[in-house]
Amino acid sequence: MALGTGADERWKIDDKVCALVPGGGYAEYCVAHEGCCLPIPEKMEFAAGASLPEAAFTVWANLFEPRRIHSGDRFMMQGGTSGIGTFAIQAAKAFGAAVVATAGSSEKCRFLRELGCERAFNYREEDWETGATEWSGGKGVDIVLDMVGGDYFAKHIKVLSLDGRLVHIATTAGNKVELDLRALMAKRLIITGSTLRSRSVEEKAQLRDGVETNLWPLVQEGKIRPIVDSVFPIEDVVRAHDRMQSSAHIGKIVLQVA
């Protein structure tokens, strides 16, 4: 790590850090605002540290700031084996929520159960809407973190509990949906979503502070661990993207500069 002019005194040259960058991360060197940096735990490798900031910032922004998940909640993660999904599941459990998730294979569902999910639904073979409703004892799920959108939206409206919260962070199955406002009002639902890239540096720094205060101790204690699927030399970026597009990965794919 090197320092720019006027950097905060907390950081020192050669500190071991990871960071949320605004773009240009496929590089031997990149610039990050000091407010977007986090210290990598002493015994953690750089590749593992690199897998954490984007997931940690996203999870904190959408589940905790403002607070949308609480101890005792029934939480459902769509896309549980993604980098964000694996982080969110661990964070939700650490804060006392019961968790279920979806994934696209039996192998991934086994992994999710090992990670702490009470149920894991293979969306290619199972009716996760019925499964989640049964798991909740018919009460419904309190909060869903979704990166699918599309036809999942109507199913979420059905599966959510009274005062349920639906949070969108991506739209891999489409961004156009239909909503019956009567269902929204009858259940008193909250539907929201956000992105990270468009936020100001000041907003990202506030998120960093929340992550460092509330989630980073759990990372340091090993209660939230980085899930790294694979590490590729940056020269093999095409193979890394092939791995991502195959949807076979579990956790983050990291590019490494020698």
Residues 207 and 108 in one domain: no
- pLDDT tens digit string along 156-198? 999 999 999 999 999 999 999 999 999 999 999 999 999 999 9
Residues 100 and 22 in one domain: no
- pLDDT tens digit string along 205-239? 999 999 999 999 999 999 999 999 999 999 999 99
Of 254, 210, 220, 225, the C-alpha closest to 41 is 220
CA 239 to the chain's CA centroid: 23
Tell me which amino acid residue 208 is: R
Of the three residues 193, 213, 245, the one that is the final residue of a domain is: 193
Burial of 10 (0-12, 13-18, 19+ CB in 10 A): exposed
- Helix %, strand %, coil % for the chain, to 5? 40, 20, 45
Please report whether residue 187 resides in a domain: yes
- pLDDT tens digit string along 126-150? 999 999 999 999 999 999 999 999 9
Residues 102 and 173 in one domain: yes
Residues 123 and 152 in one domain: yes
Residues 76 and 179 in one domain: yes
The single-letter DSSP state of residue 14 is: T
Residues 92 and 160 in one domain: yes
Residues 111 and 145 in one domain: yes
Domain of residue 32: give its range: 17-54+199-226
CATH code of the domain covering residue 97? 3.40.50.720
Asked if residue 37 lies in contact with residue 176, where contact means CB atoms within 8 angstroms, the answer is no
Please report whether residue 61 resides in a domain: no
Tokens of 34: 């000091």
Euclidean distance between CA atoms 128 and 138, whole angstroms: 14
- pLDDT tens digit string along 23-56? 888 988 889 999 999 999 999 999 999 999 999 9
- How many CB atoms neighbour CB 31 within 10 A? 11
Asked if residue 56 lies in contact with residue 220, where contact means CB atoms within 8 angstroms, the answer is no
Please report whether residue 99 resides in a domain: yes
Please report whether residue 90 resides in a domain: yes
Please report whether residue 41 resides in a domain: yes
Domain count, the chain: 2
Please report whether residue 203 resides in a domain: yes
Residues 81 and 159 in one domain: yes
Of the three residues 171, 193, 215, the one that is the final residue of a domain is: 193
pTM: 0.96
Residues 76 and 184 in one domain: yes
Of the three residues 172, 193, 214, the one that is the final residue of a domain is: 193
Q: Let me know how long the chain is.
A: 258
